[in-house]
Amino acid sequence: MSDVLISTDASKLQNLRNDYSIIAGKFQQIVTAYNVLGLTALTNDNLAAFLADPETFAATAIVGDAVINGVSYNVVNLLRNNIVVKPAGYDALLSNVAAVRDFLNPKNPHNGLIGNYTYGSMIQYFQLNDSGNVVIKPSRDAALVIMCNSYATSTTAKNMITLGNSILSQLSSLNLLDIQQSYPNGLGAFIEQMIYSEKRTGTGLNGKGILKYN
């Protein structure tokens, strides 16, 4: 039998979605800085590879294979050492990457996020929408919903939880939360007596044999 949904922690879900929206905005900064360069277009097929190493991705798009006279050169170093002229905006891209990596450092107490996220671990959860903007993947949003849901293993279990919460609410309204909890005067014994009486006589509580409380 599949699990039965009891409730969703709406506040927790909203907080998580807020985190992911902020992170999407940070990745968008990197994407926007790259797009200024006018290089290989970003798609959902290469977005993860780009975000994993924007510098190498951009340098490869600028230089190509960088094989000269049979010798393969490191494309990143060619730009770092100004052997190949860097296009306008290249340094701004690297600055954006560094800023976002710092923002998504779990040791950064000032990023305002409720979770401890790392740059590399979050890449897999985002994609480009039809407008080319970075958004959370629907599959990840669905996973966040599940993370915020509470489930019972059966309808019976769900009904028992609903009953328990109802009893707690009524006990609180009647100022009975502080009644003695242990046998023979505990709440459990009282409920057992109530159920036994109902099953035996069908009259529920009739004042006879009801446990006394201090």
- How do residues 152-211 score in pLDDT, each as one tens digit? 787 877 777 777 778 777 777 877 666 655 545 566 666 666 676 666 766 655 555 444
Burial state string for 152-176 with b = 16 or more CB within 10 A and e = fewer than 16: beeeeebeeeeeeeeeeeeeeeeee
Which residue ranges make up each domain of the chain? 4-147, 153-201
Please write the tens of the pLDDT for every residue from 46-103: 999 999 999 999 999 998 866 565 567 788 999 999 888 999 999 999 999 999 999 9
Give the integer Cα–Cα distance in Å for 45 and 66: 23
